[in-house]
Amino acid sequence: MLNKSLDSNIQAANDAMPAGKPVTNPLPPLQDRHGRTFDYVRIAVIEQCNLRCTYCMPEEGVQFKEKDMVLSTDEILRTVELLARMGVRKVRFTGGEPLVRPDIVDIVARTVATPGVKAAHLTTNGLLFPKYAKALREAGLHGVNISLDSLDEGKFEEITRRSGLNKVLESIDLAVELGFPRVKINVVLMRGFNEDELIDFCELTKDKPITVRFIEFMPFDAHQIWESGQHFASAADLCGQIERRYPGITTASGTRTEHHIYQAPGYAGKIAVIPAFTRSLCGNCSRIRVTADGNIMNCLYSEQPYHLKDLMRQGASDDDIVALFRQAYDEKYKDGFEAKKAASIAAKINVSDINRSRASMTQIGG
């Protein structure tokens, strides 16, 4: 596999962020005992979704929380403000499908205006994006990640259990046209589903200034299609296929999660491979996760929620909330393997059974 200087690449990606308003009352940064600093938060703003991707949600949906069980707009903004005072500079809204939440444009606009925040991003399946794209651009959204797993209508319907490929393709073009500084496509690459489209997806980067990101399939699917093991395609394998197909491909700059990132000679965009399951990226983790039901999760593989929403609704002070974040990150394990092992010990079950209790990625936001 091609090597790159990770730090210089991340530096380049950070330098490209807007300046944002400075924080006037900063707090010490959020750090853990393994020397990591957390400056990026992913907030799931809703559990509902207008698709039913087979690897994410069951056909009938998951048991959604009542409306007042999710964080309100003011609670989200209070969280963002406190985290920004602790050094968080990048905020991503996810879900469920964040564009199903009616106040999403307002949430983005207020986040962008929060002192300390440099960039707000959104991860969406793209179906409703044409409706909100212009308003989101005007609100100051910096980046949009559009999830798309097949360029073939039949296969798209098979994977998402809904139609809409053309809408998603329209969204990608619209995002580029409107000049969003970061436009990325998230592809969950699975053997026997869409692995044969790897190169077709790479070819999207020929003329479009976008990053196509291949994400390893993770065991957070409601129906446990993961269980058979037959659909998993490893990051190393995907990198091998890409490097063989594009002789002379070079490494490029990207974010911390874009552990392998390339640019084919003469192409406008970039290609990234994200080892979400093999977890070679844990040492560089900078993420804070807030789930749709208002809990802090210090790792995707952890089963230990920290009850942010409950604390806020008990009338907590800013200091109490900051203390909860510090506790969550003080207790963060070295990597996802350790987090999963700890969860299995606490629940007195096998490590291999640990993610079965979670119905869907919609609760944690991917």
Contact positions toward ligand SF4, by CB under 6 A?
Answer: 49, 51-53, 56-57, 95-97, 125, 147, 361-362
In whole angstroms, the minimum distance from the beta carbon of 64 to ligand SAM comes to 14
CB neighbourhood size of 299 (10 A):
24
CA distance 44 to 61: 16
Q: Is 99 or 321 the residue whose CB approaches ligand SAM more closely?
A: 99
Q: Does 49 bind ligand SAM (CB under 6 A)?
A: yes
Q: Is 82 or 210 the residue whose CB approaches ligand SAM more closely?
A: 210
Strand partners, 41: 91, 288
Residue among 54, 79, 124, 286 that touches ligand SAM (CB under 6 A): 124
Q: Is 58 or 115 the residue whose CB approaches ligand SAM more closely?
A: 58
Q: Is 286 or 363 the residue whose CB approaches ligand SAM more closely?
A: 363
Cβ–Cβ under 8 Å, residues 319 and 313: no
Give the sheet arrangement for strand 90-94, strand by strand.
250-251, 260-263, 270-274, 211-216, 182-189, 143-147, 119-124, 90-94, 40-44, 287-290, 296-297
- Considering only CA atoms, which of 110, 104, 107, 116 is closest in space to residue 30? 116
CB neighbourhood size of 161 (10 A):
14
Q: DSSP readout, 333-362?
A: -SSHHHHHHHHHHHHTS-GGGGGGG---GG
Strands 211-216 and 250-251: unpaired
- The owner of tokens 């192409």 is 267
Binding mask 66-95 for ligand SAM (x = CB under 6 A): ----------------------------xx
Q: Is 53 or 80 the residue whose CB approaches ligand SF4 more closely?
A: 53
Burial class (CB within 10 angstroms; exposed 0-12, middle 13-18, buried 19+) of 169: middle
Cβ–Cβ under 8 Å, residues 73 and 103: yes
In whole angstroms, the minimum distance from the beta carbon of 135 to ligand SF4 comes to 21
Q: Is 116 or 336 the residue whose CB approaches ligand SAM more closely?
A: 336
Q: DSSP letter at 211? A: E
In whole angstroms, the minimum distance from the beta carbon of 177 to ligand SF4 comes to 23
Q: DSSP letter at 254? A: -
Backbone phi, psi, residue 144, to 5°: -130, 125
Binding mask 130-169 for ligand SAM (x = CB under 6 A): -----------------x----------------------
DSSP H stretches of helix in 188-317: 198-203, 235-245, 308-313
Binding mask 256-295 for ligand SAM (x = CB under 6 A): --------------------x-------------------
Q: Is 187 or 322 the residue whose CB approaches ligand SAM more closely?
A: 187
In whole angstroms, the minimum distance from the beta carbon of 360 to ligand SF4 comes to 7
Q: Is 97 or 293 the residue whose CB approaches ligand SF4 more closely?
A: 97
Could you tell which of ligand SF4, ligand SAM, none binds residue 124, using a CB distance below 5 to 8 A set by kind?
ligand SAM
Could you tell which of ligand SAM, ligand SF4, none binds residue 220, using a CB distance below 5 to 8 A set by kind?
ligand SAM
- The owner of tokens 């964040």 is 98
Burial class (CB within 10 angstroms; exposed 0-12, middle 13-18, buried 19+) of 168: buried
In whole angstroms, the minimum distance from the beta carbon of 19 to ligand SAM comes to 28
Could you tell which of ligand SAM, ligand SF4, none binds residue 57, using a CB distance below 5 to 8 A set by kind?
ligand SF4
CA 70 from centre of chain:
19
Per CB under 6 A, residues contacting ligand SAM are: 49, 55-56, 94-95, 97, 123-125, 147, 186, 188, 215, 217-218, 220-221, 276, 361-362, 365-366
